[in-house]
């Protein structure tokens, strides 16, 4: 194990570049708008532009696998190239696959994205804990073994998540239980490596408004990074991030809000989001 866990490494990047992650989400309409083809060549060109223009501008890049899977094997090959190129350029890559399964199947997903040398090896992976937080154990074990990061869905940015995530449990709420269990894993790792932040982050949408308060959650007490999608196209900005997260360690995630600006404008647009977050 290295000297700094993935959460601590990402924290250092957030200090250097600001708390912004840009999603590489090659929507078909964006491929059209960028003058690219709706195929693997288009995905490859789209990814290259994102990686090059956002070099030295953001703490992390987050390729969303769905937009690559659409094109089958050729799309997955483009995703492999996207991740490898971004990591080689020095980016911290959070692959957004929202994986969640059980036992050996979960282990398979984890190996795909977190094992050193795997074709899709990333710095971190998004996970869905809605088959039970404990079902994520194979991914957690592999992530800890190889100093990778995980982002576990807690309070997602979409309104449909409420019915599941706000459900009450004996200890509080489903989302609260997920944060608690992630916190416990982080505490163990931080005790071992002396870091101020653990490798298991959460996903809490910047659009969730008063939900954390309503559920009695103290996001600032969490010992990992909150990945906060919902900024930009889904309506949240710096002010909403401040209201939801206060002084928490928060990494705002924007896809269309940056990508919509088009080639040549990605860096300047990302910098405007960083400035808005800094003001808030």
Enumerate the active-site residues.
Answer: 98
- The residue within the footprint of ligand OMP, chosen from 97, 124, 254, 270 (CB under 6 A), is 254
State the DSSP string of the chain: --SS-HHHHHHHHHHHH-SEEEEE---HHHHHHTT--SSHHHHHHHHHHHHHHTTTT-SEEEEBTHHHHTTHHHHHHHHHHHHHHHHHTT--BEEEEEE---HHHHHHHHHHHHSTT-TT--SEEEE--TT-GGGGHHHHHHHHHTT-EEEEEEE-SSGGGHHHHT-EETTEEHHHHHHHHHHHHHHHHHHHH--SS-SEEEEE-TT-TTHHHHTT--GGG-SSPEEEE-BSTTSB-HHHHHHHHTTS-EEEEESHHHHTT-TT-HHHHHHHHHHHHHH-
156 binds ligand OMP (CB under 6 A): yes
Q: Which is closer to ligand OMP, CB of 178 or CB of 190?
A: 178
- The residue within the footprint of ligand OMP, chosen from 5, 95, 122, 126 (CB under 6 A), is 126
Gap between the Cα atoms of 258 and 273, Å rounded:
8
Gap between the Cα atoms of 252 and 116, Å rounded:
27
Residue 62's DSSP bridge partners are 23
CA torsion sign for 6, 238, 153, 106 is: negative
Contact range with ligand OMP by CB under 6 A, out of 1-9, 37-45, 112-120, 250-258: 250-258
- The residue within the footprint of ligand OMP, chosen from 6, 255, 274, 277 (CB under 6 A), is 255
- The residue within the footprint of ligand OMP, chosen from 232, 245, 248, 249 (CB under 6 A), is 232
The least distance separating ligand OMP from the CB of residue 170, rounded to whole angstroms, comes to 25
77 binds ligand OMP (CB under 6 A): no
Contact range with ligand OMP by CB under 6 A, out of 103-111, 140-148, 211-219, 228-236: 228-236
The least distance separating ligand OMP from the CB of residue 157, rounded to whole angstroms, comes to 4
Q: Are strands 149-155 and 168-169 parallel, antiparallel or unpaired?
A: unpaired
Contact, 59 vs 10, CB < 8 A?
yes
Contact range with ligand OMP by CB under 6 A, out of 162-170, 175-183, 191-199, 255-263: 255-263
The least distance separating ligand OMP from the CB of residue 156, rounded to whole angstroms, comes to 3
Q: Which of residues 190-219 bind ligand OMP (CB under 6 A)?
A: 203, 205
256 binds ligand OMP (CB under 6 A): yes
The least distance separating ligand OMP from the CB of residue 260, rounded to whole angstroms, comes to 8
47 binds ligand OMP (CB under 6 A): no
95 binds ligand OMP (CB under 6 A): no
Q: Which is closer to ligand OMP, CB of 195 or CB of 202?
A: 202
Q: Which is closer to ligand OMP, CB of 190 or CB of 267?
A: 267
257 binds ligand OMP (CB under 6 A): yes
24 binds ligand OMP (CB under 6 A): no
Residues forming contacts to ligand OMP in the complex (CB under 6 A) are: 23, 25, 64, 96, 98, 126, 156-158, 203, 205, 229, 232-234, 253-257
């Amino acid at each position: 194990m290295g000297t700094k866990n993935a959460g601590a490494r990402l924290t250092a990047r957030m200090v250097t570049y600001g708390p912004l992650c840009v999603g590489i989400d090659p929507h078909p309409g964006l491929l059209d708008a960028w003058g690219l083809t709706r195929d693997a060549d288009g995905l490859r060109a789209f990814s290259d532009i994102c990686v090059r223009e956002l070099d030295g501008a953001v703490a992390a890049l987050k390729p969303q696998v769905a937009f690559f899977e659409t094109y089958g094997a050729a799309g997955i090959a483009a995703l492999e190239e996207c991740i490898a190129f971004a990591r080689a350029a020095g980016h911290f890559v959070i692959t957004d696959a929202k994986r969640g399964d059980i036992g050996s199947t979960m282990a398979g997903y984890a190996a795909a994205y977190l094992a050193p040398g795997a074709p899709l090896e990333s710095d971190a992976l998004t996970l869905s804990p809605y088959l039970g937080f404990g079902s994520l154990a194979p991914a957690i074990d592999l992530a800890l073994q190889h100093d990778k990061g995980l982002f576990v869905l807690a309070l997602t940015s979409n309104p449909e998540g409420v019915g599941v995530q706000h459900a009450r449990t004996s200890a509080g709420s489903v989302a609260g239980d997920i944060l608690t269990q992630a916190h416990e894993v982080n505490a163990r790792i931080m005790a071992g490596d002396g870091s101020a932040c653990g490798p298991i982050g959460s996903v809490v949408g910047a659009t969730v408004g008063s939900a954390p308060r309503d559920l009695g959650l103290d996001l600032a007490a969490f010992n990992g990074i909150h990945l906060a999608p919902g900024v930009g196209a889904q309506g949240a900005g710096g002010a909403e991030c401040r209201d939801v997260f206060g002084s928490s360690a928060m990494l705002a995630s924007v896809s269309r809000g940056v990508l919509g600006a088009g080639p040549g404008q990605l860096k300047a647009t990302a910098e405007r989001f960083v400035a808005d977050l800094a003001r808030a």
